Structure 1
């Protein structure tokens, strides 16, 4: 959950095995057509978030879920970080606490 408004960058890289994967990252959706044993799907976006906004990955078409995890082998990841804080919000906070 976002506590500081601003522009955030999010990315994911997911290992797939034997099936397709349709996955959404908040506002973007991707589809990977896996034709072999193992494959990967990746995506990224930058977006403005307000306090209490949430970002998540969501799998669509659950019967075609090729998401794969195995200890010591899988390299799936999801990450996000603040690129630029909303300066108007920061100025307002500074005024309230001064």
Structure 2
């Protein structure tokens, strides 16, 4: 309830149609509030990494992540290696 009443404009994930007009045309409107326990969105894999430079000049990394392209771009920026030489494995 506290979060639902936080001030601010919020962030719309999708805005399509006219919800207010649809409610006005509806024959029946059901209004309900649902509560659930807090669910922590935490990683399940251990926070560890392994990196290996290969003889061909490539760098391979085994890192737990959900955005390999983001990590690759960061590593390219930090190392100066071309993107095709940075290989991310997401176990």
TM-score normalised by the chain length of structure 1: 0.21
Higher strand share: 1
Rg larger for: 2
